[in-house]
Structure 1
Amino acid sequence: MNLASKYFINGLIVIVPIAITAFVIVYIFSFTERLLGQYLPIHFPGLSLIVVLLVIVLIGWLSSHWLLKKLLGYGERLVCSIPVVKFIYNSVKQLSTAVFESQKLLQNAVLVPYPHPGVKALGFVMPELSAPLAEKFAEEHVCVFIPMSLNLTSGFNIILPRRDIIPLDVTSESALQYVITAGAIMPRGNDSDN
């Protein structure tokens, strides 16, 4: 790979996430500005930012109360009773949950024998197996997510004996960087500063 194409790829890696994030934020705020402009007599710069933040905090606060939890549960059951809408809603909900909880989920980096014995792949230990799965095994098994390089949104979930797992003493951020960069950046230990 020549130097120009290397710099081009590095530029894309830096620009694409920033551009997508900026696009989503600008779209949300411009939509809120248009909506507020139609229904509120007052308008000042930054009003949409304040309104969006207040709405997010208000919904988060309300969703922690039992009455709204029941209403949200009822609404969710209603949405999930519509065939096509159920698929879209569940997919978006699972994706957003995975994105916002990814720091919790992708913490325990391990090495596992994958795709066959003799080689090792970096993966992340997932939550405990549910009872219907765990009872199928004579010894303790765990679920490990092995992300695909350059794309954390796809990968493989494998279930294997706990004895086959090699725990890694590395930071979760550096393990994720290792995956995202296809091994160009090696994982760093928990005690390293850089």
Structure 2
Amino acid sequence: MNWASKYFINGLIVIVPIAITTFVIINIFSFTEQLLGQYLPIHFLGLSLIVVLFLIVIVGWLSSHWLLQKVIGYGERLVGSIPVVKFIYNSVKQISTAVFESQELLKHAVLVPYPHPGVKALGFVMPELSVPLADKFTEEHVCVFVPMSLNLTSGFNIILPSRDIIPLDVTSESALQYVITAGAIMPRSNDSNN
């Protein structure tokens, strides 16, 4: 029965992020459609998409002004005082910030000795180590994300000496294709046009 629970957990890991994302997107557009249907005489396919994108841009623009930054800061402090909500909100915010602000995420493909010396796995260099982690090492170490084949949503973050990393001169897209296809499509060089 051990294999069944393992596959059940693996299935949850794959399905839950997809289900949550789908649920959130469908509900946002459904809510927008309902709201627009009540207050606007005009209605056409794609109107809710245009309105949602417009609202995201407006909120982004407003959040760059000091007054709304103060309001957002107050709201975050309020949310930070609620035990369980604080954990969920902070986790989602940190992940969102890392994904949306970092242009370098999953850009630098490397080979690393993983899962043991003598074997090489393709991974991606992650942001610089924080001071509490970096201070534990006598030489420079780097964090590398080694994704699992066929599933970029799971993998392992490993910290290893930078001397053990072999940089690859490949496009990030082809490195991701290599991982997603379990090696069926080999990484292409940066100079390759194919």
What displacement does 1:26 show?
A: 5.2
What displacement does 1:166 show?
A: 0.2
Q: Note closer, same or farther for the CA distance 1:86–1:185 as it changes in structure 2 (3 Å cut).
A: same
Q: Which position in structure 1 is the counterpart of 2:16?
A: none
Q: Which position in structure 2 is the counterpart of 1:17?
A: none
Q: Note closer, same or farther for the CA distance 1:192–1:84 as it changes in structure 2 (3 Å cut).
A: same
Does structure 1 residue 128 correspond to structure 2 residue 128?
A: yes
Which residue type is aligned with residue 69 of structure 2? Answer: K
TM-score by length of 1: 0.79
What displacement does 1:122 show?
A: 0.7
Distance (Å, rounded) in 2 between the aligned partners of 1:131 and 1:27: 40
Q: Which position in structure 1 is the counterpart of 2:109?
A: 109
What displacement does 1:28 show?
A: 3.1
Q: Which position in structure 2 is the counterpart of 1:10?
A: none
Which residue type is aligned with residue 120 of structure 1? Answer: K
Which residue type is aligned with residue 134 of structure 1? Answer: A
Q: Which secondary structure does the structure 1 equivalent of 2:122 belong to?
A: strand
Percent identity reads 83
Structure 2 counterparts to residues 9-88 of structure 1, below 5 A: 27-38=27-38, 40-45=39-44, 46-88=46-88
Distance (Å, rounded) in 1 between the aligned partners of 2:185 and 2:42: 48
Structure 2 counterparts to residues 165-180 of structure 1, below 5 A: 165-180=165-180
Which residue type is aligned with residue 42 of structure 1? Answer: P
- Runs of 4+ residues over 4 Å off in structure 1: 20-27
Distance (Å, rounded) in 2 between the aligned partners of 1:182 and 1:167: 20
Q: Note closer, same or farther for the CA distance 1:135–1:26 as it changes in structure 2 (3 Å cut).
A: closer
Q: Which position in structure 1 is the counterpart of 2:164?
A: 164
What displacement does 1:93 show?
A: 2.8
Q: Structure 2: 5+ residue runs without aligned partners?
A: 1-19
Does structure 1 residue 118 correspond to structure 2 residue 112?
A: no
Distance (Å, rounded) in 2 between the aligned partners of 1:102 and 1:178: 22
Superposition CA RMSD, Å: 2.6
Does structure 1 residue 187 correspond to structure 2 residue 190?
A: no
What displacement does 1:190 show?
A: 0.5
What displacement does 1:94 show?
A: 3.7
- Kept in 1, the 8 Å contact 2:123–2:146? The answer is yes
Number of equivalenced pairs: 176
Q: Which position in structure 2 is the counterpart of 1:14?
A: none
Q: Structure 1: 5+ residue runs without aligned partners?
A: 1-19
TM-score by length of 2: 0.79
